[in-house]
């Protein structure tokens, strides 16, 4: 079977993890991480590019050595460099990195000092008190690790929605090739736009006889068939993702889509409302005394309850039914509402495109303006800009704005919020910028009071416009910082600081709950791509989907504004 981009990206991630544990060159580690991000966000399959003998080194962050490794993976499904690394560093150490509080340095200490190679070994070392005796493992860290291990077994395996989307799209196209299939829809938490999914729920709308079940089981990614029947089947894909297929007739399609989209709490509310009206609602339709009243489309199902159609992203039983009943459903933001992007990196720091390349890619994505916000200089993380390099970049931006058509570049910077809340660049430099983004990239484990005080002080700086990815979480690898959100949101509103919803699939930060809380607190939002490559502007759609789950309307998003209106907003006028 062909090796897909997601699998190649996972190999590169594994290489980076194990090299970092081994204490290898940080630039080499970063090269693999950047390559994984490029591969994961690529719009085409690398296997197709290799088959067409295309030059892979034209991809951002892919040099000759990494291109050769991609070709090796596509051709053989293996990577000799990884196998060699496995002989030096136990691959089981990777699972330790998914424990909050454990980074590569601590995992290396556990392995080298205590011989810990996996989760079971970590549990034994904790029970014996050996972990607490290691330097760098304070009581709070040890307790955090214990709690994470206790809760880990109770948490189902989940996949990033962004990663699952490739499988969902491939399955839809594959199943649409079956006779009699009118439509294939992905339902469940995927359709509701949740950032992670436990499985995929597919509905195939079929008229007459169809071999859609047999075609489903023959999909080339299927490795295990759990069950099969006339109208349903369940399989596992090669990456461990479970997929459920249900076959429905056209007259049942809407009712089935409401039922299988969920959420469970939303569905229970609807069925209780139906019962109160003497109706029976299920995946086959809405019935009164055996007569089917609705079910061909979702709108007809909601209409039986005197409700308008409710967007899938809102179906979490968080007030959407009451809002629908009283005509107060929000007009949710759409991708087309975005006029610009306020967070973008070039190769001046850790991006992979030039100023011109990023500008032209943003224009091609339909944007009217783009803020260039390379990192301020930070030791050991990225090659950030100091004052001299920033001034030089600003001069280049001025020249480019005289040459570019259809896109305007804004001068900006992503500035480190230091441990004490100061910004990592002098005020006299920041005041020359149009967009100043503050971000937390270190000291993630500060206590709530200190972390909150840090962010509040940063927002008091009159030059700060946005706080990037406010919780600093990384899905599946780093928990959010401990923050007093009520105080944080109140301070953001008072200082008119915009909060970012970062569209990178491993961030999606703000999450949906905090996005809605921000709106309630009177805080505006920016939906940004945090682009590091020319392909990353496509990720804005991921950010919009997350914003929709947070009930976000276009007029609460600053980068829906025309350019001059945005400039006035950022100047505070």
- Measured CA to CA, the distance from residue 206 to residue 249 in angstroms comes to 5
d(CA 185, CA 306) in angstroms, rounded, equals 25
**3-class DSSP state for residue 222?**
strand
pLDDT band at 380 (very low <50, low <70, confident <90, very high): very low
Name the fold adopted by 159-325. Beta Polymerase; domain 2 (3.30.460)
The fold for domain 335-571 equals TIM Barrel (3.20.20)
Maximum CA extent, the chain: 78
**What are the pLDDT digits (tens) for 147-194?**
877 766 544 578 999 999 999 999 999 999 999 999 999 999 999 999
Which tops the pLDDT comparison, 5 or 280? 280
Dist CA 2 CA 220 (whole Å): 9
Element (H, E) at 287: strand 285-288
Query: pLDDT digits over 532-557, tens only?
Result: 999 999 999 999 999 999 999 999 99
For residues 558 and 561, what is the distance between their CA atoms, to the nearest angstrom? 6
| % of the chain beyond a pLDDT of 70 | 98
Tokens (6 digits) for 284: 């086959």
Structural domain spans, the chain: 5-152, 159-325, 335-571
Q: How far apart are CA 19 and CA 107, in angstroms?
A: 12
Looking at every residue in the chain, the average pLDDT score rounds to: 92
Q: CA dihedral defined by 158, 164, 168, 169, rounded to 10 degrees?
A: 170
Whole-model pTM: value is 0.82
Q: What is the pLDDT of residue 377?
A: 83
Q: For residue 206, give the H/E element and its range.
A: strand 199-206
> For the residues of 412-430, what is the DSSP string, one character each?
EEEEEB-TTS-BSS-HHHH
Q: For residue range 12-59, what is the model confidence (pLDDT) as tens digits?
A: 988 988 898 888 888 898 899 889 888 887 878 898 899 999 999 988
* CATH code at 5-152: 1.10.150.110
Nearest-angstrom CA–CA distance, 268 and 274 = 10
For residue 507, the SS3 value is: coil
Please list, residue by residue across 270-304, b when 16 or more beta carbons sit within 10 angstroms of its beta carbon and e when fewer do. Answer: bbebbeeeebbbbbbbbbeeeeeebbbbbebbbeb
- 469-512: per-residue pLDDT in tens? 999 999 987 889 999 999 999 999 999 999 999 999 999 999 99
């Amino acid at each position: 079977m062909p090796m897909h981009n997601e699998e190649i990206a996972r190999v590169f991630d594994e290489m980076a993890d194990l090299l970092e544990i081994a204490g290898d060159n940080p630039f080499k580690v970063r090269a693999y991480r950047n390559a994984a991000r490029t591969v994961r966000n690529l719009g085409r399959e690398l296997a197709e590019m290799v088959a067409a003998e295309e030059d892979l080194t034209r991809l951002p962050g892919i040099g000759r050595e990494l291109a050769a490794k991609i070709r090796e993976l596509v051709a053989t499904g293996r990577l000799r460099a990884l196998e060699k690394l496995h002989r030096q560093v136990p691959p089981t150490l990777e699972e330790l990195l998914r424990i909050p509080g454990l980074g590569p340095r601590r995992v290396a200490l556990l392995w080298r000092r205590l011989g810990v190679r996996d989760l079971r070994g970590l549990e034994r070392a904790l029970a014996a008190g050996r972990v607490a005796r290691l330097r760098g493992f304070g009581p709070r860290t040890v307790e955090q690790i214990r709690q994470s291990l206790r809760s880990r077994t109770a948490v189902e395996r989940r996949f990033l929605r962004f990663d699952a989307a490739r499988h969902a799209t491939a399955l839809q196209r594959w199943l649409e090739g079956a006779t009699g299939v009118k439509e294939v829809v992905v339902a469940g938490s995927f359709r509701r736009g949740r950032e992670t999914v436990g499985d995929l729920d597919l509905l195939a709308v079929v008229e007459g006889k169809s071999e859609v079940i047999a075609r489903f089981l023959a999909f080339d990614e299927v490795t295990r068939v759990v069950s099969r029947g006339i109208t349903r089947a369940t399989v596992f894909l090669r990456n461990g993702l479970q997929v459920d297929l249900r076959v429905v007739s056209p007259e049942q399609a809407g009712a089935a889509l409401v039922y299988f989209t969920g959420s469970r709490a939303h569905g229970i509310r609807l069925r209780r409302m139906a019962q109160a009206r003497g109706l029976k609602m299920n995946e086959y339709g809405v019935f009164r005394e055996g007569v089917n009243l609705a079910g061909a489309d979702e709108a007809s199902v909601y209409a039986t309850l005197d409700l308008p159609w409710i967007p899938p992203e809102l179906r979490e039983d968080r007030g959407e039914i009451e809002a629908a009943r009283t005509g107060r459903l929000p007009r949710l933001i759409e991708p087309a509402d975005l006029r610009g992007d306020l967070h973008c990196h070039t190769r001046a720091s850790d991006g992979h495109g030039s100023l011109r390349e990023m500008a032209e890619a943003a224009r091609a994505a339909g944007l009217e303006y783009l803020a260039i916000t390379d990192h301020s200089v930070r030791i050991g993380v990225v090659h950030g800009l100091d004052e001299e390099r920033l001034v030089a970049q600003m001069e280049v931006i001025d020249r480019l704005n005289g040459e570019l058509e259809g896109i305007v570049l804004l001068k900006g910077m992503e500035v480190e919020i230091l441990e004490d809340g100061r910004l990592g660049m002098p005020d006299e430099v920041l005041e020359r910028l149009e967009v100043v983004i503050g971000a937390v990239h270190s000291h993630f484990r500060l206590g709530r009071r200190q972390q909150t005080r840090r962010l509040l002080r940063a927002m008091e700086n009159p030059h700060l416009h946005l706080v990037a990815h406010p919780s600093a979480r990384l899905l599946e690898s780093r928990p959010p910082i401990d923050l007093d959100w009520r105080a944080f949101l109140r301070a953001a509103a008072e200082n008119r600081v915009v909060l970012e919803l970062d569209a990178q699939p491993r961030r999606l930060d703000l999450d949906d709950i905090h996005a809605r809380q921000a709106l309630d607190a009177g805080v505006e939002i920016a939906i940004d791509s945090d682009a590091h490559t020319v392909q990353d502007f496509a990720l804005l759609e991921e950010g919009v989907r997350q914003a929709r789950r947070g009930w976000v309307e276009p007029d609460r998003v600053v980068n829906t504004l025309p350019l001059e209106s945005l400039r006035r907003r950022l100047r505070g006028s």
